[in-house]
């Protein structure tokens, strides 16, 4: 008998997978780092974001379109965060912060 671990079958949408990874790994790691040093937690979040962006851009067939899509989404995210800070309650759970 082999002790090889069988690969986990992946089911669900890509959005569900991203949410799972974020909720299961990124948020807890961010919270642990934030308990030690808030500035380091911000730096961690930045590095995670840049790795994700680099991976997306690196896999894009049309780099210019991918860049425009990212920039457009960043603008929307910034507006959502500005509204959240104004108390409009748009964001469900900012990273590492209780709902």
Residues 80 and 65 in one domain: yes
List, in order, residues 6 or more apart from 29 with CB less than 8 Å away.
44
Domain count, the chain: 2
* C-alpha to C-alpha distance for 25 and 47, rounded to whole angstroms: 14
* C-alpha to C-alpha distance for 12 and 88, rounded to whole angstroms: 31
Q: Residue 41's closest CA among 49, 51, 31?
A: 31
Could you tell me if residue 6 is inside a domain?
no
Local mean pLDDT, 10-residue blocks, the chain (99 residues): 67 90 93 94 95 96 97 90 74 56
> Residue 71 sits in which domain range?
61-91
DSSP 8-class letter at 96? T
* C-alpha to C-alpha distance for 92 and 99, rounded to whole angstroms: 6
Residues 67 and 48 in one domain: no
pLDDT score, position 90: 61
* C-alpha to C-alpha distance for 19 and 55, rounded to whole angstroms: 17
Residues 37 and 49 in one domain: yes
Could you tell me if residue 39 is inside a domain?
yes
- Is residue 62 helix, strand or coil? coil
Could you tell me if residue 4 is inside a domain?
no
Residues 53 and 78 in one domain: no
């Amino acid at each position: 008998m082999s002790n090889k671990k069988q690969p986990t079958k992946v089911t669900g949408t890509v959005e569900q997978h991203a949410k799972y990874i974020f909720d299961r790994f990124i948020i807890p790691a961010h919270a642990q780092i934030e308990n030690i040093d808030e500035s380091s937690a911000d730096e961690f979040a930045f590095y995670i974001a840049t790795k994700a962006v680099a991976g997306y851009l690196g896999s894009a067939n049309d780099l210019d379109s991918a860049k425009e899509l990212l920039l457009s989404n960043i603008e929307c995210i910034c507006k959502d965060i500005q509204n959240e800070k104004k108390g409009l309650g748009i964001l469900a759970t900012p990273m590492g912060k209780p709902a």
